[in-house]
Amino acid sequence: MAACRPPAPGSEEAWLKAAQTFIQETLCPAGQQPNVRLTQLVLDCVKTTWLSQGRSQGSTLPLSYSFVSVQNLRTHQRLPCCSHLSWSSSAYQHWAQGAEPNGSPLHRERLLLLGTLTDLSEDLEPECRNGSLYVRDNTGILDCELIDLDLSWLGHLFLFPSWSYLPPAKWSSSGKGHLELWDAPVPVFPLTITPGPLTPIPVLYPEMASCLLRHRSKFKVVKPNLAGKLVQLSALVRSKKKAYFILSLGETSAAINQTVSRVSIIVQIPAQLVWYQVLRPGEAYVLTGLRASKIRGHCYYIWTTSPSSHLMLLKPENIQTLELEGPFPEADLNPCPMRSKSPDKKEHKGLVRESKILHYVGTVTGVLNEAAGLYELDRQLVLCLAYQQFHGLRRVMRPGVHLELQDVHLLQSVGGGTTRPVLAPCLRGAVLLRGFSRQKPETQSSLQVHGASLYTQLVWENHLGLPLYLWTTKTLEELACKLCPHMLRHHQFLQRSSPGNPSLGLQLLEPSLQLPPSGSHIRNAHSEILEEPHDCPLQEYAQLQTPCSFPTLANLREEAERRAWASFDPKALVPLRDAAYLPSCQLNRCLAWSWLSLRPCTFDPAQVLLGVLVASSRKGCLHLRDRSGSLPCLLLAKHSQPVTDPQLIGCLVRAERFQLIIERDVRSNFPSWKELDMAGFIQNQQARVYVQLFLDDALILTVPRPTVHSPTPSAPPHKEPLCPEGSHIRQSRLFLLSHKETLMKRNFCVPQETSSEVPKPTLSFHVSGSWLGGTQRNEGNRWGPPDALRDENKEQKILLIFLGSSVRWFEFLHPGQAYRLVAPSASTPAFEAEGSSCMSQRPLELAGCVSCLTVQDEWTLELESSQNMLLPESSLTHLFSDKFINTLVSFSAEILSRTPCESPLAPVWMMSGNKEAIRRCVKLTVALQTADCEFPPRLDIYIEDPHLPPPLGLLPGAQVHFSQLEKRVSRSNNVYCCVRSSTYIQVLSFPSEATISAPLPHIYLAELLRGGPAPFQAIASCHVVFIISLQLLWVCAHCTSVCLQGRCSGQDVACPTQASVSQASIRLLVEDGTAEAIVTCRNHHVAEALGLGPSEWTSLLESVREPGRVALQFTGPGAQLESSASIHEPLTLFLRTLCTSPSVLRSIVLSFELEKKPSNITPLESSRLQRFQCGELPLLTRVNPRLQLVCLSIQEPEHPSFLGAFTSS
Ligand SMILES: [Zn+2]
Ligand SMILES: [Zn+2]
């Protein structure tokens, strides 16, 4: 509007002309002739106000100011501003300083605002007035807030000398700004002063009014007037049907200065709702023309205003007390029984505490969460407005606002992470504005402005108590920080739930919240305000135990690593009994790899895993990602079901049950067990952190694509890949996968323009399978019929090569499933086999396949149909026969142990010499899972470079399927397997939560000779017949050569002189009446076999240190011994006596394992004929071969006759 531009300084004439035009256009009643009187009055009013600041700057007119219409403010004023006509600059400066130091003051504009103050909105009928105030001129209407309203101002034209304008906030749905009127408005026309009543008004005081209400049938008082002090003011309740508030007038007893009786009055006439802006608790008022009315759904009556009622300040000279004829019957003083509180609340009285109700006056110092109605008061309290309808108040709320809280609940120690006391008004209390803020509103983050309707829903529909509400708002905020805005827009995350379209935020929280069903405890505003004792959601509360937390993935990783290293204890990894006998290299190998599994319950509060599933196109593995980072994950759909559907990519995964795995890799050089607690010997440590979970245990949510424009965020996920506009024709071809090979770096000759570069190995994998029909093209949303094949009868075998970014499909491809390859364009036939250039270079991979095809980066993969996997299993005969060597075998197995070791393929010269050159290797000992075998045979699987580090999830206790492992036989005839590039490894199940080791079976030794399935480990009660041999020695801890006279006998000059460890072994012959066995015991089991206590054993070993080695050989029971040392040496004598004494040759309970591994394929020794001489008769009898056992432990029988009882039974 051109008239509004400030004219050149000094040109009073121009300013006046502009003013006249403005007044005519904006303030004169529409359609009327130019009103000279109005113009003059407005200008007088402006002049008077302008001059009142005492500094006229040489002019009687505010030339630097320009008039502004409501419409101009609404359309042109985009920034918050203020205008103070009556203020000098220094007054403004002083005022602005009040906004500092934490905020910046509102910017000062020089604008003149005039308008009519009204409670009638432009688009509402008079009966829809809801108590709000507006400023109106010919151009429009603006909401306004005013602190001290005088009812006589309504409907009059004012100059507003001092005001601020706040443009609409981001969250505002109305899209309208509002005015904050600072000073009392200056009337353009003099206001008529309403004279007092001519005769004093007859009034009732609260006590009498209450009586009258109870005995309304006896005393007919037509439209009585009530007088009293305002003792309580409810919130202004706005329901869909109507708006109302309830006030209570009380009588004060001068003697005790306490309210002795009170009476409540409901105000619900639309024209009277504006009284809410006038009423001040503590002031005395008269309300005229009341009547008694019944509240719907309640048994009692309440005073209510009539359309003719008036509100006026109580002036003693204007009233007189209305006398009623008594007496009042006492019998029914309590006509309405008090509603007792529900009994279930009383039951856990111990946990539940009552909030205090108080009055509070304070200043808002911070906005905690505007959408959720959470503010900071006086830097130490939390103010929660969510339990009131605070829509009107919210636009005013910002740091600096001065509030008076009437009957507000104070809740302390609410728990759930909130430490500060909380003030929260319910509908019974009032939040009264006592002062506007001088600060500009802070720029609110997206997080702050969205979600208001979701938060409202939590309180008014889900009926969350305050502690849980605070926790929920905080957690939603955390979740939004984790996910928004990169993965989701804030409005998508915080949108309100509606039937069929639940809020994403609530879906993530719901399992932890256990929301009561919607509408189970409907709040009744009337009861909440009127009933005694007071009952509202804030009245009682219990301290909240934080239900759970949603750590960021970066925090989860940090915490996992912290715990992994805090719990890393070398002594715990090597049992101390064994550690004492281990040379340095074995000791350090024991520490080299270890793992830890953390479960959510080991955190307090329990942790919930949350992230978006992504498939890495650089590494081929799956990750969970949030804004803080990502965490590799190993997913199974459920037990033994891998994840097959690539559509899971991009979904939100929420899991309460998961395993957080930390694999620790440690490089150390501990010289011996004695130094295990010295951290200085750890050279390098690394942790690999990942999560394992079953998708069955998780909540999978499809994430709407982050779009700015789309207002309906939960559209179904687009299946289509991104393709250029207009070309929606795609082609696809089905294939059935039969085998997948390992993901590794392979040498490819990738034809590239930069051919000068040396080709590098590329991460890739192959799958083999067969086409199911020809290429299909899309017809609308469906796939058309497949192209005809040249040769229908020929099986369409295909080898698909995934390299580059298509390795992202690795985790989704599994044997037995049918997939559809989709290419985004149909212009060229995509799924034709490649030319000979590819074939000629890769003859090995192509063996058995008709053609090969490289999957392009832009192709996508869809799961066509999912079947239960049929995994290939090699037979036990195939596995454990000496016929099929160097073949490929497949089986499922449970991993028993995982140890770093030396490669079984390393040449002997390498093992003894150059230790650095020994190839790194991981050995998995597994128990085969075969249906027909009671005692699962064991096997070792070796994983070497380039297959290191092993894939995720190869942990002790895990069940894994291995396909196409290479079977080999060691020098000692043991079968073992090696991972090759053709190998497919699929984890079927994670280590179980509780590892219960089954007790070993108790058997007779003869059971091991039958040739049938036999346990690998067992217990037998037997008798030690005699000792076959005994060896005690000291070896160098560094090079394991024997230490003679305390010195290493090896050649390595680097060996430290002192570092030596003792080693011991003994061989016993035992029998249990069914068979004989030779048992080998090592190290501390030798002490058990000899029946020596710890101190006796230590001193025996110490006595061997001097000679370095003592070995005894017995040839039979009572036979002579052969010894490495002189027979007559005291030590030898002692050992000889010991080994033949009844304290050693005794009954024992022996735990053992077979010396010959189940994987050993040396043919079994058969029984042989042996000749005995029995007196004169020679006897020829068949003797079983002696069993060879390794001792696991030796225990004394529980009582000496145990063996006899056992055999006789
Ligand atoms: Zn309450
Ligand atoms: Zn040595």
Domains of the chain are 12-187 (no CATH), 201-252+260-321 (2.40.50.140), 352-513+522-542 (2.40.50.140), 553-702 (no CATH), 729-749+760-781+796-827+843-867 (2.40.50), 885-903+919-989 (2.40.50.140), 1005-1195 (2.40.50)
What's the pLDDT tens digit per position in 409-458? Answer: 999 988 888 899 999 999 999 999 999 999 988 777 777 677 888 888 88
Which ligand is the nearest neighbour of the Cα of 388?
Answer: 1
Q: How far apart are CA 207 and CA 215, in angstroms?
A: 13
Instruction: Tell me which range, 544-558, 706-720, 738-752, is most confidently predicted by mean pLDDT.
Output: 544-558
Q: How far apart are CA 106 and CA 439, in angstroms?
A: 5
Ligand nearest to the CA of 424: 1
The answer to whether residues 820 and 800 touch, using CB atoms and an 8 Å cutoff, is no
Measured in angstroms, how far is the CA atom of residue 410 from the centroid of ligand 1?
10
CA distance 459 to 475: 15
* β-bridge mates for residue 852, sequence order: 799
Contact 831, 730 (CB under 8 A): no
Compute the distance from residue 584 Cα to the ligand 2 centre, in Å.
Answer: 10
What is the model's pLDDT at position 657? 92
Percent of the chain exceeding pLDDT 90 equals: 30
**Average pLDDT of the residues in 1132-1144:** 88
Across-strand partners of 105? 439
Residue 794, pLDDT score:
65
Residue 131 C-alpha to ligand 1 middle, in angstroms?
Answer: 23
pLDDT at residue 35, rounded to an integer = 78
How confident is the model over 482-509, as a mean pLDDT? 80
Q: Tokens standing for 598?
A: 């953390």
Question: So what's the pLDDT on residue 516?
Answer: 64
Hey, how many other C-beta atoms are within 10 angstroms of the C-beta on 357? Answer: 18
**pLDDT value for 144:** 92
pLDDT of res. 424: 95
* CA separation for the pair 948, 665 (Å, rounded): 12
Give the Å distance between the CA of 1063 and the centre of ligand 2. 15
pLDDT in tens, 380-414: 999 999 999 877 788 889 899 999 999 999 999 88
Furthest-apart CA atoms within the chain: distance in Å: 157
Distance 1044 CA to ligand 2 centre (A): 11
The larger pLDDT score, comparing residue 1168 to residue 634, is at 634
Q: Which ligand is nearest to the CA of 1042?
A: 2
Ligand nearest to the CA of 539: 1
Q: What is the mean pLDDT of the chain?
A: 82
Ligand with the closest atom to the CA of 671: 2
Higher pLDDT, 150 or 1055: 150
Query: Phi and psi at residue 479, in whole multiples of 5°?
Result: -65, -40
Q: How far apart are CA 1020 and CA 1003, in angstroms?
A: 5
Q: Ligand 1: distance of its center to the CA of 236 in Å? A: 14
Q: Which ligand is nearest to the CA of 535?
A: 1
Across 815-831, average pLDDT: 82
Residue 298 banded pLDDT, cuts 50, 70, 90:
confident
How remote is the CA of residue 893 from the centroid of ligand 2, in Å?
40
Write down the residue that tokens 């109580």 correspond to: 314
Which is it for the CA torsion 1164, 1169, 1171, 1175, positive or negative?
positive
Cα-to-centroid distance, 1097 and ligand 2 (Å): 24
Q: Where does the pLDDT of residue 992 fall: very low under 50, low under 70, confident under 90, or very high at 90 and above?
A: confident
CA of 357 to the centre of ligand 1 (A): 8
SS3 834: coil
Q: Which residues surround ligand 1, an ion (CB under 5 A)?
A: 426, 428, 536, 538
Q: What is the pLDDT of residue 2?
A: 38
What pLDDT band is residue 481 in, cutting at 50, 70 and 90?
confident
CA of 731 to the centre of ligand 1 (A): 65
> Are 174 and 160 spatial neighbours (Cβ–Cβ below 8 Å)?
no
Count the Cβ atoms, other than its own, within 10 Å of residue 1077: 23
In the predicted model, is pLDDT for residue 1165 greater than 90? no
Task: Answer yes or no: are the C-beta atoms of 539 and 354 closer than 8 Å.
Answer: yes
Instruction: Using the Cα atoms of residue 457, residue 458, residue 463 and residue 465 in order, give the sign of their dihedral.
Output: negative
Q: How far is CA 630 from the centre of its chain?
A: 13
| C-alpha distances in Å from residue 417, one per residue of 372, 420, 546 | 16, 9, 7
Distance 1050 CA to ligand 2 centre (A): 5
CB 968 within 8 A of CB 885: yes
Q: Tell me the pLDDT band of 840, cut-offs 50, 70 and 90.
A: very low
Q: How far is 1129 from 1132, CA to CA, in rounded Å?
A: 5
The tokens of 1106 are what?
């001097």
d(CA 734, CA 818): 7
Supply the pLDDT for residue 355. 92
**Contact between residue 187 and residue 112 where contact means Cβ atoms under 8 Å apart:** no
Look at residues 587, 575, 594, 568 and name the one whose alpha carbon lies nearest to residue 672: 587
pLDDT digits (tens, 9 = 90+) for 1041-1055: 888 877 788 777 777
Residues of the chain with pLDDT > 70: what percent? 84
Average pLDDT over residues 359-388: 93
First to last CA, the chain: 114
Among the residue ranges 380-394, 767-781, 799-813, the one predicted with the least confidence is: 767-781
Distances from the Cα of 1074 to the Cαs of 935, 1081, 1144, 1207, in angstroms? Answer: 21, 21, 21, 9
| 248 alpha carbon – ligand 1 mean position (Å) | 16
Distance from the alpha carbon of residue 1040 to the mean position of ligand 2, in angstroms: 6
Report which of residues 902 and 1081 the model is more confident about: 1081
Distance CA 17, CA 23 (A): 10
> 1209: pLDDT confidence band, cut at 50, 70 and 90?
very low
From the CA of 1084, how far away is ligand 2's center (Å)? Answer: 23
Mean pLDDT within 196-209: 84
Residues facing residue 977 across a β-bridge: 941, 967
Look-up of token digits 């889900």: 462
Segment 309-363, tens digit of pLDDT = 999 988 888 888 887 766 655 544 444 444 444 444 444 555 788 999 999 999 9
Ligand nearest to the CA of 1049: 2
Distance 911 CA to ligand 2 centre (A): 16
Ligand nearest to the CA of 1053: 2
Q: Residue 1109 Cα, ligand 2 centroid: separation in angstroms?
A: 15
Q: How far is the CA of 670 from the centre of ligand 2 (A)?
A: 15
Ligand 2 centroid vs 1143 CA: distance in angstroms?
36
Q: Are 1112 and 1139 in contact (CB under 8 A)?
A: yes
Residue 935 has pLDDT above 50, yes or no: yes
